[in-house]
Amino acid sequence: MIPEWMRALGISFVSYMSVLFVIIVVVTFHARDFVFGRAAAITAVYMTALLIYFTILFVVFKRKVGSL
């Protein structure tokens, strides 16, 4: 059985990926052209920040909620 806090992190990750999709769509429509390099750079920066954020959340949740 998956703990509730891990399920919450998974759902948050999916919602953050939808935000990334919207960001790429807005940038593409604004520039009126899809440039793979630009989309890859946006994704790399966004995913790096998200990875750091979720690592911190995982450690905090594991210590606070996992010990109950």
CA torsion through residues 47, 53, 55, 57, sign? negative
Which of 55-60's residues contact partners 24+ apart within 8 Å by CB, and which partners?
57/9, 58/9
DSSP per-residue string spanning 39-56: HHHHHHHHHHHHHHHHHH
* Domain boundaries of the chain, sorted by first residue: 18-64
Whole-structure pTM value? 0.76
For 1-51, write each residue's pLDDT tens digit. Answer: 887 877 888 898 899 999 999 999 999 999 999 999 999 999 999 999 999
Question: What are 52's two structure tokens?
Answer: 């750091």
As a whole number of Å, the CA-based R_g of the chain is 16
